[in-house]
Each structure stands twice: as C-alpha cells, then as structure tokens.
Amino acid sequence: MNLARVFLKIANGVISAVIVISLLLAGAYAAYALWDNSRIYASADDVQREMLKLKPELPETSDSGPTFAELLEINGDICAWVTVDNTPLDYPVVQGETNLSYINTDVYGNFALAGSVFLDSRNDRDFRDSYSLLYGHDMIDYKMFGALELFKDEVFFNQNNSGTLILPDRVYDLKIFACLLLAASDDYIFEPQVWQTDDIDKLLTYTSENAMYVDEKTIQELRGNDDVQVLALSTCSAEFTNARTILLAAMVPH
C-alpha cells in the first residue's frame, strides 16, 4: 500500500509538472503570436505611412505635389493608387507576373505577410479592360482590404459609395454599387478575362441577383453602355470556407 501511495504521489507530481510546463509553453506561444501579429501590422502601417507621402495629387488639387514618377522610381510594378472614401483603404496598386508575386511582398519588394494591394495578373495594367480585379488581405482595424468589411453593414453601404483610382495618365472616380459574399471559385468575379469579350450586362444581372446589397439605380445606368468599366475589390472572409467579400464599383472618368 505504501508503495502504491508513493507511486501515485510521484505520478501526480509528474502530471502536475507536465500541466504547468504545457501552460507555460502555451502562454509563451500566445505571447509570441501577439508580438508577431503586432509586428506584422506595425510593418504594414509603416509602409502605408511612407507611401501616403508619395500619393499622387489629383490634377485640380496641385501641380507641385507628388507625381506617379516618384512611385515608379520605388517600384516599376506600381500601376495605380486606389482610395475608398471614409475608410482607411488608401494604397498603391501593384501588378506582378502572377497573382502570387505580391501576396506576401510589400510595395518595396520586401517579404511581408501583409502583402500589397495588387491587380490580377491577367488584367491590363493600364486599366483599359472592361473589368479589372484587385486583391488585398483582410486585416484587423480595417487595414488593407479589411475595409471591405465595413460595407457588409447596410447603412454604411448606403451612405458610402465613392472612391478614386489614380493612374499615371488619368483619374477615375469610383462609384460603388454592390457588395457581394461569394466563394473564391466564382467565375463571374474571379475570371476577369471573360468580361473582355463577353457582354458585361451579364455580370450586372448576376450582381443584382446575388449581391448582399446593390444600388439598382447605378446598375440600370450601366446597362447597355459599351464604355462601362467595372473595378472589383476582393478579400478573404470568414463566413465559410474560401469565402470572399467583393465590392464592385463603376469607373467614371474624373
């Protein structure tokens, strides 16, 4: 009996030690994860802060402010600057050789988990296509394309529909007309080359039928217009496996 008690005492001590060590390791990992996560966001904030100093001025604002030439000196892959009003979404846009080029690479070409906002590699980098698709990571505090989450609120969607797309040689006003929640396999959204040859009215009909929220007045204005250009902004979402939040905006010459 004494031996049994001794054995149980030792076993309980070992189990307690294992539990304590496990808790310490879990705490250490959690602390590291928080530190690493904060470092990722701080790095993304630093890049945006530096880039905003070089955001090209609108033509009517100033003729002495930053120009696109200064951005191109940093990275020749920069092809645009996208802004969505009343959100933190205010970033340069790059286009790589593939859609993996900038998924974990910042605008300076450095490794960064936050990545960059980038144009689909199948699109025309001069934004002459009828349909152009942008990607960005969904980050907390509405950073990068985390700002798309704001438009899942119907009131916010109805009250905020403007933005700007600045190119080296021209500017577009963005008129947001739909917010969608779809799978990453959705061909209507994620096969941009389809809409360079097919009737984009089909995309507008699909949008009306599948959007969380849609501005039907803008949809009707776009129908039958051969000069329509649509910009899509896509990011990951947590509602289901491979869920994506998408904003669609009409590109209106400034």
Quickly list DSSP for 3-35: HHHHHHHHHHHHHHHHHHHHHHHHHHHHHHHHH
The values of phi and psi at residue 187, to 5°, are: -70, -30
pLDDT of residue 40: 52
Average pLDDT over residues 233-253: 96
pLDDT of residue 33: 43
pLDDT of 175 strictly over 70:
yes
Helix (H) and strand (E) counts in the chain: 6, 9
Give which of 36, 60, 213 is closest to 112, Cα–Cα: 36
Residue 43 confidence class, pLDDT cut points 50, 70, 90: low
pLDDT of 185 strictly over 50:
yes
pTM passes above 0.95:
no
pLDDT of 34 strictly over 50:
no
